[in-house]
A and B are shown apart, each in its own frame.
Chain A
Amino acid sequence: DIQMTQSPSSLSASVGDRITITCRASQSISRFLNWYQVKPGNAPKLLIYAASNLQSGVPSRFSGSGSGTDFTLTISSLQPEDFATYYCQQSYNTPLYTFGQGTKLEIK
């Protein structure tokens, strides 16, 4: 199985901050990496697919980069609605998907 490791597990930041979340795969997965946002009571939301492609309707302050084993999700200027938990997910071994453990983004 491909293991996905995110860091940090939690992060405190303020509105307007720029933040970066890192995701590392246990083997090379090329660019087969997606990012999701999860809020309690809401449907999880796809943010980024194929490492760096912004899903339709997602604000441009979200961006993704990386390939191989190391990936990042960046939010350029945090908005109040961005405080949530973020997950990376590999789709190299489709459909046997695996997720990172999540990064909880909290308001400082």
Chain B
Amino acid sequence: EVQLVESGGGLVQPGRSLRLSCTGSAFTSGDFGMSWLRQAPGKGLEWLGYIRSKAYGGTTEYAASVKGRFTISRDDSKSIAYLQMDSLKTEDTAVYYCSRDKWTILTGFYFYYMDVWGRGATVTVSS
């Protein structure tokens, strides 16, 4: 079964760092772009960032809300994508998800969507 599993969540003090991992199984993760998202308590889904596959340069994009504090990387030999979170704030408290980005060509256009998600890792930022 194609699966993603997040790990590395926990309780961390404001200003500290934390790194989350997203491990893929039953598919070649290196063939896909990967996204990180979060859901804060009582809030909706928020996209945080994306890393392209190596075939497309392995470059990254970030939401304005986390650009400069969060960094996404990948180790395709281990089928892992990482989310490095620095200078954490209390408002970063959330469930963090990773997802696999896929595309389909319809009527000559590329339609992107997130077809596989993990169950999430809880991050609590508190003193």
**Which positions in A face B, CB cutoff 8 Å?**
30-32, 34, 36, 38, 41-46, 49-50, 53, 55, 87, 89, 91, 94-102
For B35, the chain A residues whose CB sits under 8 A away are 95, 97
Known A94-B112, A95-B112, A96-B63; contact A44-B97, beta-carbon cutoff 8 A? yes
For A55, the chain B residues whose CB sits under 8 A away are 113, 115
Of the residues B97, B104, B118, B120, contact of A49 by C-beta under 8 Å: B104
Known A87-B45, A95-B33, A102-B44; contact A43-B120, beta-carbon cutoff 8 A? yes
Of the residues B39, B47, B119, contact of A97 by C-beta under 8 Å: B47
Nearest CB to that of A46 among chain B residues? B115
Of the residues B47, B101, B106, contact of A50 by C-beta under 8 Å: B106
B96 interfacial contact with A, CB 8 Å: no
Nearest CB to that of B97 among chain A residues? A44
A-B contacts, CB under 8 A, total: 75
For B106, the chain A residues whose CB sits under 8 A away are 31, 50, 53
Interchain CA distance A36-B44 in the complex, whole Å: 12
B47 to A96, Cβ gap below 8 A?
yes
The binding surface of chain A is classed by DSSP as loop
B44 to A43, Cβ gap below 8 A?
no
For A30, the chain B residues whose CB sits under 8 A away are 109
Of the residues B44, B47, B104, B115, contact of A101 by C-beta under 8 Å: B44
Q: How far is the CB of B14 from chain A (nearest CB, A)?
A: 26
For B111, the chain A residues whose CB sits under 8 A away are 31-32, 49-50, 53, 91
Interchain CA distance A67-B46 in the complex, whole Å: 23
B117 interfacial contact with A, CB 8 Å: yes
Q: Which of A32, A87, A97, A99 has the most CB of B within 10 A?
A: A97
B50 interfacial contact with A, CB 8 Å: yes
For A99, the chain B residues whose CB sits under 8 A away are 44-47
For B33, the chain A residues whose CB sits under 8 A away are 95
B61 interfacial contact with A, CB 8 Å: yes
For A50, the chain B residues whose CB sits under 8 A away are 104, 106, 111, 113
